[in-house]
Structure 1
Amino acid sequence: MILDNYATHKTPDIKRWLLAHPRFHLHFTPTSASWLNLVERWFAELTQKKLKRGVHRSVQALERDIRAWLADWNEHPRPFVWTKTADEILDKVAAYCRRISDSGH
């Protein structure tokens, strides 16, 4: 399973469950790399294209907008397409790591 580094994925209960189900292995995305987690990317899409642009005068109005967004997304799914190669992404990460290690902090 691929997960983000959220603390709830590392609790004693989870560790016990994994011991009882040895065919499952956890692989964590790097910290500060939420763009690798497509579920988070999808929620960012919802936030940017619907929630930040909307005016919701009640919880019910907000819920209606979210449900309408879900219905439209499910009717016209739009897969996420990576636009950079793995090498381009790794080069950018390496440049970032060099930049922060040279920052003097």
Structure 2
Amino acid sequence: MVVITDNLSSRSSWKVRQWLLRHPRIRQVFIPAKACRLNLAEGWWRLLRKAAFAGQTFADATEIAHALTIATAQLNTCAQPWIWGRPPPRPRTFRRTFVYLL
């Protein structure tokens, strides 16, 4: 079994290393450093935090669950395929067109 992690502290954590020694079937694989874009969960959490938690306070866990349900439904209504990288730049539109007649 393979566990993919991106937490840098887990690479050198004594508790994690001891646990992995006790479980030889489990192998830890790391996302390369400076490659957080490979972890799609990070982008999803950023969108969910912005939609559900930004500027709000909650009294209990049921309010948090309700906010998550509403935010997930709203995000699913406008879901689009994930596109890697930046989109190509739009072509420049010139304000004036100069035409030279000879």
TM-score bracket relative to the smaller structure: 0.5 to 0.7
Q: Alpha-carbon deviation of 1:14?
A: 1.0
Q: Which structure carries more helix by proportion?
A: 1
Is 1:21 the counterpart of 2:23? The answer is yes
Q: Which structure carries more strand by proportion?
A: 2
Q: Alpha-carbon deviation of 1:11?
A: 0.9
Using structure 2 for the length normalisation, give the TM-score: 0.54
Is 1:67 the counterpart of 2:83? The answer is no
Relative to structure 1, is the Cα distance of residues 17 and 27 closer, same or farther in structure 2, using a 3 angstrom cutoff?
Answer: same
| RMSD across aligned positions (CA) | 3.4
Equivalent residue in structure 2 for 1:42, among 32, 41, 44: 44
SS in 2 for 1:42: helix
Structure 1 stretches lacking a partner, 5+ long: 93-105
Q: Alpha-carbon deviation of 1:42?
A: 2.1
Distance 1:45 1:39 in 2: 10
2:4, 2:31 within 8 Å by CA — same for their partners in 1? yes
Q: Alpha-carbon deviation of 1:7?
A: 0.5
Relative to structure 1, is the Cα distance of residues 33 and 16 closer, same or farther in structure 2, using a 3 angstrom cutoff?
Answer: same
1:5, 1:30 within 8 Å by CA — same for their partners in 2? no
Structure 2 stretches lacking a partner, 5+ long: 87-102
1:46, 1:69 within 8 Å by CA — same for their partners in 2? no
| Aligned residues with identical type, % of pairs | 26
Relative to structure 1, is the Cα distance of residues 35 and 67 closer, same or farther in structure 2, using a 3 angstrom cutoff?
Answer: farther
SS in 1 for 2:59: helix
Would you say how many aligned residue pairs link Structure 1 and Structure 2? 81
